[in-house]
Structure 1
Amino acid sequence: MIPAYCTESAPPGEKAVFAALRDAAGTEHWTVLHSLGIAQHERQVEGEADFVIVAPDAGLLVIEVKSHLSVARGSDGTWRLGQDPPTLRGPFQQAQEAMHSIRDFLRSKRVDLRDVPVLRAVWFTGVRARATLPDSPEWHSWQVLDSSDLATTAQAVERVMREGAQHLDAMIKYFGFGGHGPDRATADRIVATLRPRFEVVMTAGDRRQAREGQLAQFVEEQYHALDSAADNRGVLFTGPAGTGKTFLAAESAQREVAQGRTGRILCFNRLLGRSLREKLTDVVGLRVGTLHQEMLRLADLSGPPIDADNDFWARVLPERALEGLAERSAGEVGDFLIVDEIQDIATGPYLDLLDLLVKGGLRDGRVLLFGDFERQAIYGSEDAREVLRDRSPHLASFRLSENCRNLPRIGYQVNLLGHLTPGFREFRRTDDGIDPTIIKYVRREDQASILRKAIGDLRDEGFDLTEIVVLSPLGDSSVAASTSDPWLRQVLSPADGSKPIKGRLRYATIHSFKGLDAPAVIVTDLDGSVGSRFDALVYVGLTRATDRLTTLVETNTLRRLVGAET
């Protein structure tokens, strides 16, 4: 089923057919597309097919669903469906138009439909239409499905496809002479051709002010990821920065809730947690936040103690959260659990708690985990993936590889400075021909003037202050946090995960900004002598930029990063 859920706003008949198709036995090799938008409709500006079933060795069936409790055809030729206004354009004509539009589109994409029965039917879910509709030259009896067919869905659909294929055999010379298609490969191509063309979601308008109204279309890899989430109880999604893990985690959470389930989406970073809460604030039945916030809540603590150390976060707090969970109602245990940044959370005490937050636990529950175990594990242990596998040995794996965030030239610079092997090679976005900027410095205090000029250059290019973020591996001693430059002090403000304020320029540590992005990023204080896991921090910092990247690197560090004199 694509998508794997039916929205609450769908008509009752569509919900009934969706459930019947989803639960039908013997349909493992079918693909069912629900609410397939048709941009190139043969009659209307745009249209929609309620269901499209692609069944290998049987055909392609377009179904128009009518939920009405009464169906009538007047002497003037108008259709009266329930309380709807009379219309000359009846359901069989709607199905026919949708079928022709889809068939024409597939042919325009050179999909071979020879010997593939492309059929249409109308499913009246509220009436016994097969017994009551009279014979008519406008439709064949095999094109009618009704309420009685909901109990034997697979057989009903197979009956339509079988009799439809027989009709085409009789009408078209040599049709199906060698058997009816599509074969498995053609069926996969039909689905792959229809789905990317018609399923489009608005993302950039919410994520970047500079791109309001832009449509971001799912790449095929992301569709496969969502399919994998629908087909398996537990899935571990892995991939480098920029492959859409956080976006897919949020989308998966909304789909789970749309199916009537309750649960959690948790992450590690505080700023990412706040950003997710703002985006998902209207999703009822979903608890959103960081793992640490959830542990504090379960432990009935308003905040950490003043002297909280690593032992408190790693051992004491998880233990107190487990005690608090044991005292609370069973309502705390969710139907699903989604965790982003799992590479930073996969430790024994944390997994003990997560195991009790979802029905069936980490071994058998509905668990979707997203992480980058190669370079973004800047908090977790090196063996995080093995620890996770011990707890959830039955997790299906899905690896994301196509970069959806960065312009290609930014990705190539990440490959160079982050020492990625094999590195980013596939990008969804089209390059704009502008190279990232690398600026070397000798003394840390030299960076303030460089930073101010870099901000000015971005503003001259048209970037608003709210679209620019300054990142550093350092905290209070970073150039952005400690600068004495009057103008920088006036416009700079620490990032808190909420939407940027007009006229203000955000800054943050690379650690805290992990999981987020910005149209223009300036990374400062890149000095290889400042701390551990430096290469990982370079990788995380540089991959936050979607369109413009400026990097301020200490001279000797730059030599080491590029492996040559610069």
Structure 2
Amino acid sequence: MRVIPSEISNSTGSQAERSVFAALKEIPDAQSVALHSVHLPRHRTKRVGEIDFVVITPDILLFIEVKGGRVSQRDGKWYYGPPGREDGPKESPFAQASTGMHAFERKIATLIGDLRDQGIPSGYLVITTDIDLAPTTDFEPEQYLGRKAYDGGRGLAQGIERATRFWLGRNRWARTPVPSSVRNKMLAAIRPDFDLVPNLQSRLTDLDVAFERLTNEQMDRLDELESNHRLIWTGGAGTGKTFLAAEAARRKSGTRSVLFTCASSTLARHMTRILADDAITVLPFDRLDQIKHRTFDQLIVDEAQDLMTFDSLGVLDELVAGGLEKGQWIFMLDQNNQVLAPHTYDPQAWDYLLTLGTVYGPMKRNCRNTVQIVKQVQLYTGADLGVASAGEGEPARFVDVRDAQNEASLLDCYVDTLVQEDVSPRDITLLSVSGDWETSSARLSRHASRIQRFTDVVGSERVKHRLTWSSITDFKGHESHIVCLIDLEPEHLEGRLDALYVAWTRARAQLWIACRPNVRKALTRLGAAALQRNGALR
């Protein structure tokens, strides 16, 4: 069944609604449409009413009210939620469904005409996903789907069919099937709630939902790899390696001591907050001497391409029980580093590691970057980021600037536009190619006094609704909804393809690039070189 919107917003906190949303999408019915969270601005008893789901089928207009968790009834009053935190007394879910249905019918009648005159039947179904209500005089069995019958969503289609038969018996004036033209009129009347051109913040939310779904799918792969004690997991930027490394650390910490390390000190600080567990030690590689006399049951190395030398492997060998040869470890590695920054990568060390572990990858699902960003990076660097799966976005914006002052002015205009589209400044990161705050164009911005330095706030609770400034090096392993690349001079692109790769792949939704004089020419040369490496030019 088609569901509108196609992805549930991460602002939907009800796990019961999320379950029903997913179950509706699984119903093999090409003719019906379900709409989630339909607002009723003229509800009879509430300032703003809401129907959980409205389902338009050839046979009926069905309203679904969903309740999750504990539901109880005392002295004719209904209460929702756990003891001590109950919400109530309130009307029954059946009364809620009924009043919502009638309010909706009145609303839609003003748009397409009276439903009864057109022979359109309607009814409602109440679903409690986690409990079974005892039979009462409040409802007929066909109007209700409890935990057992719902069966985690598997019984939803049958419940809808049963409710449809019941309500068709009550709507004897119904003329079914309802013509598709009439159903389309109903859909068109409701859909403006969903199909207004979304502002940028809503699109960012949709990308977040897609990211959560994709990383959860990749996380399931960990179950398949539990039997591999020495694992090398490869994938380009944005394929979820750090997410999976963190989940692996959590799982392993249940039965053993875990060391999580990486080359980046800012990434290590971030992961320290995420992996707050006594069994997990998180340290950047340059501070491992603090624990040189300890050994750990499990070693996890993120961004391992930055540590792919025999000296680094020797340090790690001493810290894992059994050493690298017999111990238990996971190395997360970006294979693009071999092309982009060969001076930090020893192929012989890589060959040695290959003899010790099992390789999984390269991971091909990019769940961070939009299609446009993936294509942009591949065009200029030739790097393989996998298949972009997070969704469509906007093309990267290249903006020609004369100097630092002009760059700051145009940056301010862009940030102001984003804020007007309800984007929080905290979702915008200014990535400086020079990495020097004292000479950065960001200091000339009107927002300069409200820009926070990434190194000051990473891994802490002090993040405010402000722009963030960072060097590319410090931001490696992190990400932001919107990245503005600033302080870029032509000489920064000479021999620094890795910096370009890292900077551009930090952006999840939008990429804005300030090009100072001759930067465009340098980028054109990089693009041609990338095509030549990939055999497109001869």
Aligned partner of 1:388: which letter? W
Q: 2:235 matched to 1:226?
A: no
TM-score, scaled to structure 2: 0.56
Aligned residue among 482, 488, 506 for 1:544: 506
Partner of 1:271: 266
1:359 Cα shift? 1.1
Cα deviation for residue 220 of structure 1 reads 8.4
**In 2, distance between residues paired with 1:539 and 1:215?**
20
- Per the alignment, residue 368 of structure 2 pairs with 405
**Deviation, structure 1 residue 401:** 1.5
1:379 offset after TM fit, Å?
A: 7.1
| Distance change >3 Å, CA 481–CA 553, structure 1 → 2 | closer
Deviation of 1:381 after TM superposition, in Å, equals 3.6
Question: Which letter does structure 1 place at the counterpart of 2:371?
Answer: P
Partner of 1:252: 248
> Counterpart amino acid of 1:359?
A
* CA distance in structure 2 between the aligned counterparts of 1:342 and 1:368, rounded to whole angstroms: 10
**Shift in CA distance, 99/507, structure 1 to aligned 2, threshold 3 Å:** closer
Cα distance between partner residues in 1 of 2:211 and 2:311 = 42
User: How do 1:512-551 residues align onto structure 2 when only pairs under 5 Å count?
Assistant: 512-530=474-492, 533-551=495-513
- Cα drift, residue 278 of structure 1: 1.1
CA deviation string 1:155-210 (max 9, x = no partner):
xxxxxxxxxxxxxxxxxxxxxxxxxxxxxxxxxxxxxxxxxxxxxxxxxxxxx999
For residues 24-57 of structure 1, give each alpha carbon's deviation from its aligned partner in whole angstroms, at most 9, with x where no partner exists: xxxxxxxxxxxxx997599x9889xxxxxxxxxx
Is 1:350 the counterpart of 2:280 in the alignment? no
- CA change 1:101–1:245 in 2 (3 A) is closer
For 1:226-264, what per-residue CA distance to the aligned partner results, in whole angstroms no more than 9, with x for missing partners?
A: 145312111111111100010010010001012x11111
CA separation of 1:481 and 1:350: change in aligned 2, threshold 3 A: farther
Corresponding residue for residue 488 of structure 1? 447
User: Aligned partner of 1:493: which letter?
Assistant: Q
Check if 1:426 corresponds to 2:421.
no
Corresponding residue SS for 1:466: helix
How far the C-alpha of 1:274 sits from its partner, in A, is 0.9
Are the aligned partners of 1:238 and 1:373 in contact in 2 as well (CA < 8 Å)?
yes
Q: For 1:369, which of 316, 331, 352 is the aligned residue? A: 331
2 CA distance for matches of 1:470 and 1:427? 23
Alignment partner, residue 465 of structure 1: 425
Matches within 5 A, 1:47-66: none
Residue in 2 aligned with 1:236?
A: 232
* Aligned position for 1:416: 379
Q: Distance in 1 between matches of 2:518 and 2:472?
A: 21
Aligned to 1:131: none
- Residue 506 of structure 1 deviates from its aligned partner by 1.1
Shift of 1:430: 2.2
Q: Distance in 2 between matches of 1:503 and 1:217?
A: 26
1:452 aligns with 2:415: no
Cα RMSD of the aligned pairs, angstroms, is 3.9
Aligned partner of 1:216 among 202, 212, 216: 212
Distance between the aligned counterparts of 1:378 and 1:507, measured in 2? 24
Query: Which residue type is aligned with residue 229 of structure 2?
Result: R
**Residues 215, 379 of structure 1: CA spacing in aligned structure 2 closer, same or farther, 3 A cutoff?**
closer
Residue 212 of structure 1 deviates from its aligned partner by 8.4
Contact 1:263–1:335 (Cα < 8 Å) also in 2: yes
- In structure 2, the CA distance between the partners of 1:278 and 1:209, relative to structure 1 (3 Å rule), is farther
* Aligned pairs for 1:269-348 within 5 A: 269-281=264-276, 283-295=277-289, 297-298=290-291, 325=292, 328=293, 332-348=294-310
Report the TM-score when normalising by structure 1. 0.54
> How has the CA–CA distance of structure 1 residues 376 and 445 changed in structure 2, closer, same or farther, with 3 Å as cutoff?
farther
**How far does the alpha carbon of each residue in 1:344-372 deviate from its partner, in whole angstroms, 9 at most, with x for none?**
11222221110011111111211100011
User: Cα gap change, 1:40/1:367 in structure 2, threshold over 3 Å: closer, same or farther?
Assistant: same
Alpha-carbon separation, structure 1, partners of 2:205 and 2:464: 11
Q: Residue type matched to 1:494 in 2? A: R
Find the aligned partners of 2:496 and 2:508 in 1 and give their Cα distance.
22
